[in-house]
Amino acid sequence: MTADARVVRWTAVGVGIALGVLIPAFLSNFLRSLASDAAIAGLIVLSLVVLTGLVGQISFCQYSFAAIGAFTVGSLVAGHHWEFWLALLVGVCFAAAVGVLVAIPALRLSGLFLAILTIGVALFFDRFLLAPGTWDSFSGGTSSWRPGRPSFFGIGLRGEYAFYLFVFGILLVACLLVWNLRTGKTGRVLRAVRESEVAASTVGLNLTAWKLTAFGISAALAGLAGGLSAVRVGSASAGSYDFLHSVIIAAIATVVGVGAITSAPVGGMFLLFVPEIMRAWTPFSTQWFPFVTGILLIFQLVYAPDGAVVDSERRIMRRLHPPAPPPTADDTATPERVLARTST
């Protein structure tokens, strides 16, 4: 990447972060709580950036993983008076473990059948596991858990703006970590597995381990989102994590594109603010939102297959970064010398 393009990218990121911090300062508490929800939804979109964007696998059960985080936090904090942070950590690990568990049958399945499996998982959670009477000490039964908000190094997070800054910060850190994963070995290896499984295994990659890792990371991110949303709302109830939520977030992730980290905040904002915009400025109520998402999804897949964010990002980068001239060999270390040094 040229220096210019790098400057533009980091400036854009900086402006984005500044706007993300400043704008909610001037919003009503209602919109601030919505912004928190958007950041939390952004984490779920990020979980799909890992799973769909890197491994090429669609999932319709991300909110089931989120539910694990939410109910772990709910039951431990409200039911057993645990410290929030510890409960959150347990929730994230639990979600990751379940993600790995779901991935085990998935290892043998190609994309389509894995998609069916994830729907099965979502409904199993939704209709059975979290239904009252099945596992009440986890799901809270007919009454929902009411975990209180934590404090962050002594700073109370009761205020909506403080809480927003807290989840926004977590989203940023998560985005940074996923960015590092994507640009490092992990991202390269996962994309290789997506491109050709047989080649990936013949060059020495353990497909099983890598697929399980990807599912684990993705489920952990979703679980983190769930744990945060439990304290954002102040309660955990099964209805907020049902199959339809998972389908809608998968649709939104596809519309904005799973090839870019930027999709996470954009997707989160889409989920929370488009319905508000619809209510405020169009004759349609928020309940038409899934309809709009569905239509966008269909049109986008037929006409802009990589997703809106990825498409526009690529367009901007192409303008800033015309095809590079062929790189020349590094003349400080001659290739023969490097080979001799590294091949033994």
Q: Pattern of binders to another protein over 51-90, x per CB under 8 A?
A: -----x-x-x------------------------------
Tell whether residue 327 is a contact of another protein (CB under 8 A).
Answer: yes
Residue 142 phi/psi, 5-degree rounding, is -75, -25
CA-CA distance, 4 to 10, in Å (whole number)?
10
When binding is defined by CB under 8 A, the residue of 14, 132, 156, 159 that contacts another protein is 132
CA-CA distance, 287 to 282, in Å (whole number)?
12
**1-30 residues near another protein, rule: CB under 8 A:** none
- Part of the chain binding another protein (CB under 8 A), chosen from 129-137, 153-161, 272-280, 307-315: 129-137
When binding is defined by CB under 8 A, the residue of 91, 232, 293, 309 that contacts another protein is 293
**178-217 residues near another protein, rule: CB under 8 A:** 178, 180-181, 184-189, 191-192, 195-196, 198-207, 213, 217
Tell whether residue 251 is a contact of another protein (CB under 8 A).
Answer: yes
Tell whether residue 318 is a contact of another protein (CB under 8 A).
Answer: no
H helical segments located in 107-159: 111-123, 136-139
CA-CA distance, 57 to 41, in Å (whole number)?
19
Tell whether residue 305 is a contact of another protein (CB under 8 A).
Answer: yes
Tell whether residue 107 is a contact of another protein (CB under 8 A).
Answer: no
Placement of tokens 């400025």 in the chain:
281
Which tokens go with 27? Answer: 């919003």
Instruction: State the amino acid at position 267 in one-letter form.
Output: G
Q: HSE on the CB side for 100, CA within 13 Å?
A: 13
For 305, the 3-state DSSP assignment is coil
Which tokens go with 100? Answer: 């790995």
CB of 335 to another protein, least distance (A): 4
Tell me how many residues contact another protein (CB under 8 A): 84
When binding is defined by CB under 8 A, the residue of 134, 282, 315, 319 that contacts another protein is 134
Task: Give the list of residues 6+ apart from residue 297 with CB closer than 8 angstroms, or none.
Answer: 251, 254, 255
Tell whether residue 112 is a contact of another protein (CB under 8 A).
Answer: yes
Q: Which is nearer to another protein, 154 or 335 (CB)?
A: 335
CA-CA distance, 135 to 75, in Å (whole number)?
11
CB of 208 to another protein, least distance (A): 9
